[in-house]
Amino acid sequence: DEKSEKCTVGCPILDRNLNGGIPTKSITEVVGESGSGKTQICLQLVLSAQLPPSHGGLNGSSLYIYTEYPFPIRRLKQLSLSLLSSHPNHLLSSSDPLSRIILRGISSAENFVELLPDIELCLRYWKSRLLPIRVIVVDSIAALFRSEFGNCCFDLKRRSSLFFKISGGLKLLAERFGLVVVVTNQVVDFIEGNESVRIGNFSELCSSGRRVCPALGISWANCVNSRIFLSKDQTGIKITRFSSLLFAPHLPLSSSQFVITEKGLFG
Ligand code: ATP
Ligand code: MG
């Protein structure tokens, strides 16, 4: 989409992999096993989004919806200090970057659907304060559906309907307000014949050598616009993370490597 802007994730090599950053007006999913860096990318995104476009940001505040407790507030603080020290002369330093991140914990998919009208109000009225909201993070979407649903047809129907309401609501907001929307997702073991694999290129190796694919199956896969897959490879104490773009209508398949340090993500 020509009219979509990009937001830096604060790591040049990942940005390059993403052709300049994460696009606005669509839903980007970050998928990977536990500890692969999904939350770290999201935390860094909501900080980098506050930078001006000349520095790859969106001059924007963010809404961070978390579904797993506790929210890593100390890590966010640590990353914000690191960002401030690398952009000392910027507006960012005039007040606390954490004041431009709205945190909201939710516990179920229904809870999320009920929250959508409030999110829209928040997007409209937050504008009058500091920077408008330009980013919504949902970390993680998988947790909202964990063990809540059985496998009978009724539950699958109810589940798909919730996928549709959540992603439809987020897409509408993304387009209307020019937002970057990032959702994180877990992986499940690849099983031959698994419905989420049938639409192709979805299975990847994780650190233990298992073949895995994104959780929530094909009906959720159809709800997101692009998907970034994270995996890790531990050599000594240095953990190298690999990100590959599984599908993105606007980009070719590509991959990059990064590490996570105290100061954030580095290529
Ligand atoms: P989950 O699915 O369990 O939520 P995740 O993909 O969100 O996992 P993250 O929390 O993003 O995983 O990544 C955790 C990893 O980030 C840790 O294993 C660690 O390697 C790295 N990390 C986190 N904080 C720091 C820090 N202060 N210094 C260095 N590395 C850190
Ligand atoms: Mg996480």
ipTM score = 0.99
Cα 205 to middle of ligand 1, angstroms: 19
Atom of ligand 1 nearest to the CA of 230: 6
Does this model's pTM top 0.90? Answer: yes
CA distance 219 to 221: 5
- Give me the pLDDT at residue 194, please: 57
Atom of ligand 1 nearest to the CA of 43: 11
Ligand 1 within 6 A of CB of 161? no
Ligand 1 within 6 A of CB of 39? yes
Residue 200 has pLDDT above 60, yes or no: no
CA distance 195 to 141: 19
Residue 40 has pLDDT above 60, yes or no: yes
Q: What ligand has the least distance to the C-alpha of 37?
A: 1
Do the strands 264-266 and 211-214 form a parallel or antiparallel pair, or are they unpaired? unpaired
H-helix or E-strand containing 140?
A: none
Residue 65 has pLDDT above 90, yes or no: yes
Ligand 1 within 6 A of CB of 40? yes
* Substitution candidate for ligand 1 out of 43, 146, 260, 261 with most atoms within 8 A of CB: 260
Give the mean model confidence (pLDDT) for residues 77-106: 85
Ligand 1 within 6 A of CB of 95? no
Residue 192 has pLDDT above 50, yes or no: yes
SS3 50: coil
Cα 12 to middle of ligand 1, angstroms: 19
Residue 123 has pLDDT above 70, yes or no: yes
Residue 197 has pLDDT above 70, yes or no: no
- Give me the pLDDT at residue 189, please: 83
- As residues whose CB is below 5 A from the ion ligand 2, the structure lists 38-39
Instruction: Out of 132-136, 152-156, 171-175, pick the least confident.
Output: 152-156
Atom of ligand 1 nearest to the CA of 78: 27
Instruction: Out of 52-61, 92-101, 114-123, 220-229, pick the least confident.
Output: 92-101
The rounded percent of the chain whose pLDDT value lies above 70 is: 82
Q: What ligand has the least distance to the C-alpha of 36?
A: 1
Q: How far is CA 14 from the centre of its chain?
A: 13
Could you check whether the bond before residue 147 is cis, i.e. omega within 30 degrees of 0? Answer: no
Regarding predicted confidence, which is higher, 22 or 200? 22
- Give me the pLDDT at residue 147, please: 61
Residue 164 has pLDDT above 90, yes or no: yes
Ligand 1 within 6 A of CB of 261? yes
SS3 178: coil
Q: How far is CA 161 from the centre of its chain?
A: 22
Ligand 1 within 6 A of CB of 264? no
Ligand 1 within 6 A of CB of 76? no
